Amino acid sequence: MQDQELIRQATEARTRAYVPYSGFQVGAALLGASGKVYTGCNVENASYGLTLCAERTAAVKAVSEGEREFVALAVVTDKGVLPCGACRQFLAEFGQDLRVLVADTAGMCREYRLSDLLPDAFAGAELA
């Protein structure tokens, strides 16, 4: 799958964001190793701590459908904001080699590796 298609799907998912409090729309598209794409948007809650980020929404959808390996994630916001720390840690559970494409609504895009965004992530091996 081409990066631009993944960004397009994240952009589309962003339009479905439920953001009555912040107005900050985020869309994500997560490419599984199977080739299937799982999209997500942020969903706010009046109890702010219960808000779900777009990246975690996409990952939960993927895992709930049996996908456990991921190739790339596209995240789209107005200004190209990076995933939050909680999302970085959540995604690290499934591998540190994930390509992360961060795009803005003007078409600018930057690429990272999850391992660069969250070096020395806490992992399941730490629990053994």
> What average pLDDT score do residues 99-119 get?
97
pLDDT tier at 127 (50, 70, 90 boundaries)? confident
User: Which of the following is catalytic: 5, 12, 44, 55?
Assistant: 55
The question of whether 55 is a catalytic residue gets the answer yes
CATH number of the domain residue 83 falls in: 3.40.140.10
Range of the domain at 49: 3-127
What is the DSSP code string of the chain?
A: --HHHHHHHHHHHHTT-B-TTT----EEEEEETTS-EEEEE-B--SSGGG-B-HHHHHHHHHHHTT---EEEEEEEESS-PPPPHHHHHHHHTT-TT-EEEEEETTS-EEEEEHHHHSTT---GGGG-
Query: How many domains does one find in the chain?
Result: 1
- pLDDT, position 124: 79
What pTM, to 2 d.p., does this model score? Answer: 0.96
45-100 residue pLDDT tens: 999 999 999 999 999 999 999 999 999 999 999 999 999 999 999 999 999 999 99
- pLDDT, position 110: 98
- pLDDT, position 126: 77
